[in-house]
Amino acid sequence: DTEVTQTPKHLVMGMTNKKSLKCEQHMGHRAMYWYKQKAKKPPELMFVYSYEKLSINESVPSRFSPECPNSSLLNLHLHALQPEDSALYLCASSQEYSNSNEKLFFGSGTQLSVL
């Protein structure tokens, strides 16, 4: 199994809603990532988890709250989002989070629209 699975594929939410994005991988990877991608732009790193511990938070607003319940699962909890948060949210994993080679395996993403 070389897949990273993300649910839901599409999500529409209001600015007062609370929702969660989910990501799962069964490749035995120990690093998992959240990226945000706006249309016609490259992915921007949001968070990195290594061995289920938060290693990087790229100054992401607190309305985005990541959670790594175990080595296979990664969640992103959303609360009080703004319309400018509308984007494709990509989950990725890699074998290790190290200071050398970072081969990333991406999910298909959740297309989020905030109304």
Partner 1 sequence: GEDVEQSLFLSVREGDSSVINCTYTDSSSTYLYWYKQEPGAGLQLLTYIFSNMDMKQDQRLTVLLNKKDKHLSLRIADTQTGDSAIYFCAEFVTGGFKTIFGAGTRLFVKA
Binding-site ranges for partner 1 (CB under 8 A): 4, 6, 40-43, 45, 48, 55-56, 90, 92, 97, 99-109, 111
Three-state DSSP at 43 gives: coil
Nearest partner of 91 among 27, 18, 40, judged by Cα: 27
- Nearest CA to 7 out of 78, 93, 111 is that of 111
Tell me which residue has tokens 């991608």. 37
Residue 31 or 81: the one with the smaller Cβ distance to partner 1 is 31
To the nearest whole angstrom, how small is the minimum distance from the Cβ of residue 4 to partner 1? 7
4 vs 74, beta carbon nearer partner 1: 4
Q: How far apart are CA 77 and CA 72, in angstroms?
A: 17
CB of 80 to partner 1, least distance (A): 26
CB-CB contact of 83 with 16 (8 Å): no
Q: In this complex, which beta carbon is closest to partner 1, that of residue 71 or of residue 106? A: 106
Q: How many other β-carbons are positioned within 10 Å of the β-carbon of residue 62?
A: 8
Q: Which is nearer to partner 1, 17 or 37 (CB)?
A: 37
